[in-house]
Structure 1
Amino acid sequence: MKEGKLECKGLTKKYGKKEVLHNVNLELEKGKIYGLIGRNGAGKTTLLSILSAQNPASEGEILLNGESVWENKEALKHIYFAREINGAASSAISGFKVKEYLKIASEYLPNWDEELAEQLIKLFHLDKKKRIIKLSKGMSSMLTIVVALASKAEFTFLDEPVAGLDVVARDQFYRILLDEFTESGRTFVISTHIIEEAEDLFEEVIFLHKGEILLKENTQELLEHTAYISGKAEEVEAFIKGKQVYGLETIGRSKGGMVRWSEGEEPEATEDITLQKMHLQKIFISLCGREDDVE
C-alpha cells in the first residue's frame, strides 16, 4: 500500500433510536500511533468496529485511500481490529486451544507473521495447549496482542489491549509495540483507560465524547500548551482573558482550572499565579469528566 490514509466521513451510528456516533469526521495517517480516549459509552469500540468494516454505519462512509472499505476484501487486507476475546462457555471459540486459535488467525489474516507470533508466544509464556475458556483475563489479553501484532495489518486497532495485564506485562507490551512500529511504520490506534501510563506512546490523541470527536491533536503540542492555573481569583481572571479555560472552580478567594494557549504564547507564573503542567489524563478529565451524568 503506497499511500496510507483511512478516512471517516460524516459517520453516524444508530441502534434503534439511540445515536451512538454523530457525524464523525476523522483522518488516520499511516505511520502514527494514535491514542483513542473516551469515557465508557463514548462510542470508542463502535467507532473502531465501523472503521474495520465489522459493523455497518447508519450514515457516512469509511475510505481507505479513497475507496470504501465496506465489503472490499482488498481494502480489508490492510485493516485489523483486535478486540477482546470472548472465552465464555457460550462462545464458539471457547473450546479451542490457543494453537488452534492462532492457526485460524494465520489462515484468515493475509499478512500473518508466524515468526513474530512465535516470538511473542514465548515472551508472554502462553501455553499453546491451553483452551480459550481456561485463559485468565491477562492471558486472554496477551493472546489478543499476539494476533494484533502478528497480523502485520497497516492499520491495526487495539481496544483496551492491556486489560488484566500486570505492570511488567504492560511495560513489555509498550516496548514491543514501539519496536514493531519503528520497524514496520504501521499505524496503530489504541483505545485505553490507562491514559497516563500510555501517553508517551501516542503521537496524536483523539478524545471521543458522547459520540463526537472533541479533540484530535499532536500529543506533545497539547501538553506543551496546557497547564493548570491557580491563584487569587482576580489575578486568575486577568490571566485567562483571551485564552481557552476549562473546569474553572472557585475555592474561597482562589480560582483554578485548565488553561490552553496558542502557539507562540509563553505564559509565566507570577507571585500570585501558579502554572502546573498537566498529564493527558488530567486534560481529559478537565474536558470531559466534570459532568454529573455518566455515560
Structure 2
Amino acid sequence: MEERMEQLICENITKNYKSKDALDSVNLTLAKGKIYGLIGRNGAGKTTLLSILSAQNPPSEGSVVLETEEGRLSVWENEKALSHICFSRELNVGKNTALSATKVKDYLRTASVYLPYWDQELADELIRKFHLDVKQKIGKLSKGMVSMVTIIVALASKADFTFLDEPVSGLDVVAREQFYRILLEEFTETGRTFVVSTHIMEEAADLFEEVIILKEGKLLLKENTEELLESCLHISGKAEEVDRATEGLEKHYEERLGRSKSVMVRLKPGQELPDAEVTVQPMKLEKVFVALCGEEA
C-alpha cells in the first residue's frame, strides 16, 4: 500500500537576509487533505515560506518535517520526503535566458523527470483545456500562458503537498474560474493538500478551508476561513455608540469622519455585541485582511 503523508510541519522557522528577517519564528502545521489560502502583503514572506517548506531554500533557524505513519522525515536533502512535495512557483522569464529559450514541451518533460508521481495523462488534458502551444518557447508566451505552465506542473505533479505561488497572475477572469474549478475537482478526487498564495482573495476565498496570514515575516493567524469571517464584523455609526458597542472587544482599523466612526471587531468565542444604535455588517476576506494588515487610519 502506498504511503501517504499526514502532516507537513515547520518548527520555529526563521530566515535572515543580511539585516532583515524575512521570516521570524514561524510555527505552522499543514494537514493532509485541505486547501489553504496563504495571504500577506508584498514582502510578508509568503514565497520564502513556501520555498523553505519545499526545501528549495534553507532556513536560518528551525526545521521542516513530514510526519508519517512511519515517523518524522526532515525535508532537507531527503529524496523520500521531497517526492511528496511540489512548489510550482511563478516563472521569472527574462530575455536571453535559458528558460526563455526553452520550449514548453521540454520544460514539462524535465518536470516529469523530477516529480516521481507525474501524471502525463492529466498534463495532456490540461494542455488541451488551456490551449497551450507546447512547441512555443516560454519566452514567447503571454504572462497568462506562462501561468498556465506553472499550473500544469503543480496539478500534474500529483504531489501530496502542492504549493502554488500567484497561480492566476496574468489570467483573465474566465481562465481564473477555469483554474479554480479544475483545482477543486483535483482536490475532491485525490484529497491532496494545496497551498495557494494569491493577492486575488475574493475569487478564491470559497476554496480555502483555512486561511494563513503572514505579516512582516510573522504568522499572524491560521484559522478556518468560515469561522474567521463569522467572527469579524464591521461596526459603524456615531462615534460614542461605536465606542460603547465595541468596548472590551478586539478592534482593528478604526476610521473617523466627523462624529461618525467605523471599526472592525473580531469576536472571541462566546462574545456578543451589546445592544447599540450602530450598523453591523459582515466582512469579506479581503476587507478582513486589510483591517488586520493595512495601515491604521
TM over 0.5: yes
1:1-295 aligned at under 5 Å gives the runs 1-65=3-67, 66-267=72-273, 270=276, 272-290=277-295
Cα 1:220/1:268, change in 2 over 3 Å = farther
Cα 1:171/1:269, change in 2 over 3 Å = farther
SS in 2 for 1:55: coil
Which amino acid letter does the alignment assign opposite residue 166 of structure 1? D
The CA distance in 2 between the partners of 1:69 and 1:114, in whole Å, is: 25
The CA distance in 2 between the partners of 1:214 and 1:187, in whole Å, is: 21
SS in 1 for 2:118: coil
Which amino acid letter does the alignment assign opposite residue 15 of structure 1? Y
Which amino acid letter does the alignment assign opposite residue 150 of structure 1? A
Deviation at 1:264, TM superposition (A): 3.8
Deviations 1:42-70 (A, max 9, x none): 11101100000000000000111122100
Deviation at 1:269, TM superposition (A): 7.0
Which amino acid letter does the alignment assign opposite residue 64 of structure 1? L
Deviation at 1:236, TM superposition (A): 1.2
SS in 1 for 2:168: coil
Which amino acid letter does the alignment assign opposite residue 219 of structure 1? T
The CA distance in 2 between the partners of 1:266 and 1:13, in whole Å, is: 40
The CA distance in 1 between the partners of 2:140 and 2:275, in whole Å, is: 56
Deviation at 1:16, TM superposition (A): 1.4
SS in 1 for 2:23: strand
Identity across matched positions, percent: 63
SS in 2 for 1:216: strand
Structure 1: unaligned runs, 5 residues or longer: none
What TM-score, normalized to structure 2? 0.95
Deviation at 1:263, TM superposition (A): 2.7
Which amino acid letter does the alignment assign opposite residue 63 of structure 1? V
Deviations 1:73-101 (A, max 9, x none): 10000000001123323432221211111
Cα 1:36/1:221, change in 2 over 3 Å = same
186-195 or 84-93: bigger deviation: 84-93
The CA distance in 2 between the partners of 1:69 and 1:242, in whole Å, is: 44
Deviation at 1:106, TM superposition (A): 1.0
Which amino acid letter does the alignment assign opposite residue 26 of structure 1? L
8-17 or 49-58: bigger deviation: 8-17
What TM-score, normalized to structure 1? 0.95
The CA distance in 2 between the partners of 1:172 and 1:47, in whole Å, is: 27
Deviation at 1:231, TM superposition (A): 1.0
CA contact under 8 A between 1:269 and 1:275: conserved in structure 2? no
The CA distance in 1 between the partners of 2:248 and 2:227, in whole Å, is: 19
Which amino acid letter does the alignment assign opposite residue 110 of structure 2? I
The CA distance in 2 between the partners of 1:85 and 1:237, in whole Å, is: 48
CA contact under 8 A between 2:253 and 2:296: conserved in structure 1? no
Query: CA RMSD for the aligned pairs?
Result: 1.4
Structure 2: unaligned runs, 5 residues or longer: none
